[in-house]
A and B are shown apart, each in its own frame.
Chain A
Amino acid sequence: MKLNWFKYASPAAFYPIAGRLIPWFGGLAAVLVLASLLWGFFGTADQLGGSNPQKEYYRIIYIHVGGAWMSMWLYLVLAGWAAIGLVFNTRLSFMMANAVAPTGAIFTFIALWTGAFWGRPSWGTYWDWDPRLTSELILFFLYIGYIALHSAIDDTRRADRAAALLSIVGLVMLPVIYWSINCPDPTQCAALHQRSDPGSIHPSILWPMLGVTLGFWSYSFATAFARLRGIILQREADSAWVSDLLQGESQGEPRGGTVR
Chain B
Amino acid sequence: MLKTFWSILLRDLTLALRRRTDVLTVLFFFIIVVSLFPLGVGSEKALLRELGPGVVWVAALLASMLALERLFAADFDDGTLEQMLLTPQPLGLLVLAKVLAHWLLTGLPLVIIAPLIALQYQLEDGQTLMMMASLLLGTPTLGLIGAIGAALTLGLRGGGILLSLLILPLYIPILIYGEGAVTVSAIALADSEPYLMLLGALLLLSLILGPWAAAAALRISID
- Chain A interface residues toward B at CB < 8 A: 138, 141-142, 144-145, 148-149, 152-153, 158, 161-162, 165-166, 169-170, 172-173, 176-177, 179-181, 184-187
**Given A142-B169, A169-B170, A177-B170, also A186-B198 (CB < 8 A):** yes
Is B72 part of the binding interface, using a Cβ–Cβ cutoff of 8 Å?
Answer: no
Contacts of B202 in A (CB 8 A): 176
- Collect the chain A residues with CB atoms within 8 Å of residue B209's CB: 172
Q: Which of A158, A176, A180 contacts B221 (CB 8 A)?
A: A158
> Are A177 and B173 interface neighbours, CB within 8 A?
yes
A149 touches B162 (CB 8 A): yes
For the complex, what is the distance from the CA of A80 to the CA of B54, rounded to whole Å? Answer: 35
Asked if B173 contacts A180 (CB within 8 A), the reply is yes
By beta carbon, the residue of chain B nearest A163 is: B152
Q: How far is the CA of A150 from the CA of B40 in the complex (A)?
A: 37
* A177-B170, A180-B177 known; A152-B198 Cβ under 8 A: no
**Interface residue SS majority, chain A:** helix
Contact with A along B155-180 (1 / 0, CB 8 A): 01110001001101110110011001
Of B55-63, B105-113, B212-220, the one with at least 4 CB within 8 A of chain A: B212-220
Q: Which residues of B, 174-223, contact A by the 8 Å Cβ criterion? A: 176-177, 180, 184, 191, 194-195, 197-198, 202, 205, 209, 213, 216-217, 220-221
Selected contact of B162 from candidates A148, A165, A173, CB within 8 Å: A148
- Interface size class on chain B is 20 to 34
Minimum C-beta distance from B50 to chain A (A): 15
A-side contacts of B194, CB under 8 Å: 186-187
Interface contact B165-A144, CB-CB below 8 Å: yes
Contacting residue for B166 out of A145, A153, A161, A181, CB 8 A:
A145
Grouping DSSP codes into helix (H, G, I), strand (E, B) and loop, the B interface class, with mixed when no group exceeds half, is: helix
Chain B 44-80, CB-CB to A under 8 Å as 1, else 0, gives 0000000000000000000000000000000000000
Q: List 26 A-B contacts (CB under 8 A).
A: A141-B168, A145-B165, A145-B166, A149-B162, A149-B166, A152-B156, A152-B157, A162-B152, A162-B217, A165-B148, A165-B216, A165-B220, A166-B166, A169-B148, A170-B170, A173-B170, A176-B205, A177-B170, A179-B173, A180-B173, A180-B198, A181-B176, A185-B184, A186-B177, A186-B180, A186-B195
Check B169–A145 contact: CB distance below 8 A. Answer: yes
- Please give, as numbers and ranges, the residues of chain B lying within 8 Å of A173 by CB-CB distance: 145, 170, 173
Cross-chain contact A149 with B152 (CB below 8 angstroms): yes
Beyond A138-B169, A186-B195, whether A152 also contacts B221 by CB under 8 A is: no
Q: Complex Cα distance A162/B216, Å?
A: 9
Residue of A nearest to B216 (CB): A165
Closest to A144 in B: B165
Chain B residues lying within 8 Å of A148, measured Cβ to Cβ, are 162, 165-166
Partner of A152, one of B158, B169, B173, B184: B158
Bound CA–CA A184/B54 (angstroms): 13
**Smallest beta-carbon distance A244→chain B, Å:** 32
How far does the Cβ of A206 sit from chain B's closest Cβ, in whole Å?
33
B156, B172, B216, B217: the one contacting A177 at CB < 8 Å is B172
Besides A152-B156, A152-B158, A177-B173, 13 other A-B contacts (C-beta < 8 A): A141-B169, A148-B162, A149-B166, A158-B220, A165-B213, A166-B148, A166-B152, A176-B202, A181-B172, A184-B176, A184-B180, A186-B195, A187-B191
B153 contacts the other chain (CB 8 A): yes
Nearest CB in chain A to that of B205: its residue: A176
**Chain B residues closer than 8 Å to A187, beta-carbon distance:** 191, 194
Cβ distance B144 to chain A, nearest Cβ, rounded Å: 11
